[in-house]
Amino acid sequence: MTGQATERKALIFDIQSFSIQDGPGIRTTVFFKGCPLNCIWCHNPESKTIKPQLMFYKSRCTGCMLCAENCRDGAQIALSDGSHYVLNEKCTFCGKCLEFCCYDALKICGAPFSPEELCERLKSDMRYFNLEGKTGGGRGGITFSGGEPLLYSGFIRDFCALVPDVHTAMETSGYGSREDLEKITGCIDLFLFDIKLINGSEHKKYCGAGNDVILDNLKFLYENDKDIILRLPLIPGINDTAEQLDGIVKLLEKYPRIKRVEIMPYHNLGLGKLEALGMEIPAELPRLNAGREKAEKWLGEFRARGFDRVYCA
């Protein structure tokens, strides 16, 4: 991660309406840019840095070079072999080249929003949320995701104050300061809390930091009676181990009020994005999607050990 999140403006790289995977009911998911971890399997690598980026999808590009002709900053160039190259460091994110690219080969990732601007942007979606408020049946709402939304806790607190009747969820790695967590504990109704690796040194190896802070923050949320769903990314060859399964079972025994567990089999959507960002593809990153077999096996193991609120995404 580079840069720092500011309190008043958040850098947001995507807003997905009608989401049904990120908490109960019909939701709008807001993706914040920036993450303090660096998980090698990240399927949103465009979320890692807290600064805008220009993504270039080479496979869609016809080489017309209209983008280069219309870029005043010299950020789009043709190399001597005729191939097209993007100089992200020269780009000012003016968006001019996007107007000339008929093939959707270019995308600016990351735009600043104030809490009020985000509220305005989501206004039309709110009619699809639970119109009866938090106590009603549907409980759709807004999910904050990323990147790591805890980096924007001040922003999220201010935003939530503008929409007090909307159900809110946060998809988090749990890796953030206690101060940031405390800022949003009162205004988030549901935490979708990732447990990536139970083994601390493996967590450090594959995610760039240990898991002590994460496990402490999980304890804090649990002790504060927050609704929690555990999310388990299942990455072939990395965390699909007996040690991981046993560790999760121990957590569930320790925290019996955890609402449910969702197993998230790895998919390789991040590969194309890494290429579009000009980022290196880690050697250990699985190239293929994970099959359902391992996830189904885990599901069976959890159920055999008495945990029936476990599902496979």
Q: List residues binding ligand SF4 (CB under 6 A).
A: 54, 61-67, 71, 73, 75-76, 84, 91-97, 100-101, 103, 105-106
Which is closer to ligand SF4, CB of 76 or CB of 173? 76
Which is closer to ligand SF4, CB of 94 or CB of 111? 94
**Residue 20 CB, nearest distance to ligand SF4 (Å)?**
33
> What are phi and psi for residue 32, nearest 5 degrees?
-90, 145
> What are phi and psi for residue 279, nearest 5 degrees?
-100, 155
Question: In whole angstroms, what is the distance from residue 82 CA to residue 207 CA?
Answer: 37
Q: How many CB atoms lie within 10 A of CB 307?
A: 18
Contact 228, 172 (CB under 8 A): no
Which is closer to ligand SF4, CB of 101 or CB of 166? 101
**Residue 67 CB, nearest distance to ligand SF4 (Å)?**
3
CB-based contacts of 64, cutoff 8 Å, min separation 6? none
> What is the DSSP secondary-structure string of 187-207?
T-SEEEEE---SSHHHHHHHH
Which is closer to ligand SF4, CB of 101 or CB of 170? 101
Which is closer to ligand SF4, CB of 63 or CB of 291? 63
Which is closer to ligand SF4, CB of 108 or CB of 279? 108
CB-based contacts of 135, cutoff 8 Å, min separation 6? none
Total number of residues shown for the chain: 313
Which is closer to ligand SF4, CB of 67 or CB of 190? 67
**Residue 3 CB, nearest distance to ligand SF4 (Å)?**
18
Q: How many CB atoms lie within 10 A of CB 295?
A: 20
Which is closer to ligand SF4, CB of 105 or CB of 192? 105
Structure tokens at 62: 């016809």
Question: In whole angstroms, what is the distance from residue 199 CA to residue 171 CA?
Answer: 21
The residue whose two tokens read 């609120």 is 309
Structure tokens at 279: 């980022």
**Residue 77 CB, nearest distance to ligand SF4 (Å)?**
10
**Residue 271 CB, nearest distance to ligand SF4 (Å)?**
20
Q: Is 23 left (phi over 0), alpha (psi -120 to 50) or beta?
A: left
**Residue 265 CB, nearest distance to ligand SF4 (Å)?**
33
> What is the DSSP secondary-structure string of 234-284?
E-TTTT-SHHHHHHHHHHHHH-TT--EEEEEE--THHHHHHHHHTPPPPTT
**Residue 117 CB, nearest distance to ligand SF4 (Å)?**
21
Question: In whole angstroms, what is the distance from residue 7 CA to residue 151 CA?
Answer: 9
